[in-house]
Structure 1
């Protein structure tokens, strides 16, 4: 998890648009820890990931999310867990 924490950074949404268009962006809910979520994805923790997806705490970026981020010129926290880019708004990564 230390490696993932070091690889987490702020990025403007405009720099992620092409990845969103490819369907490679996952949005992490503010109540989840971004780094812990990335670790679960990296470790292929299917049970945990499925539970988060069922409750929409982890989901593919929606058109609404993308449009809002673009309109707000928002910056998000992001970490890459190939082939995914996990992003989170309104929370500082730990």
Structure 2
């Protein structure tokens, strides 16, 4: 897989109401292992999401282009490009990782279990 693609309906996210889009994103959120992420890390396409945030809420904000919310999370350091130190730790296979695709990004969150509301 060289391209990042979302599985949102062909009509696009704009055609979906928030409740339906949220449900679609929840359905696309899954556990993921580091080997599946490694090539996207090399391309700079992974955003690390703080455990304090709801992964699907962040994906919703990005898909809906809610720049104010996304900017506030970035300014607070709750959303950031994946750094090399964290990537090395994730490569060790210890943490549980959850991801959802919002092209061109893969949003990844370290978690003790399933994301909070899923």
Is the 1:13–1:75 Cα contact (8 Å) retained in structure 2?
no
Question: Is 1:92–2:92 an aligned residue pair?
Answer: no
Which of these residues, 64, 81, 105, is aligned with residue 43 of structure 1? 64
Question: Is 1:53–2:61 an aligned residue pair?
Answer: no
Superposition CA RMSD, Å: 1.2
Unaligned 5+ residue runs, structure 2?
A: 1-21
Unaligned 5+ residue runs, structure 1?
A: none
Question: Is 1:22–2:43 an aligned residue pair?
Answer: yes
Q: If the length of structure 2 is used for normalisation, what is the TM-score?
A: 0.75
Aligned residue-pair number: 94
Which of these residues, 93, 99, 103, is aligned with residue 78 of structure 1? 99
Higher relative contact order (CA 8 A, sep 6+): 1
Larger Rg: 2
Higher strand share: 1
Q: Mean Cα displacement is larger for which, 84-93 or 13-22?
A: 84-93
Q: Mean Cα displacement is larger for which, 34-43 or 73-82?
A: 73-82
Determine the C-alpha separation between the residues in 2 that align with 1:28 and 1:74.
14
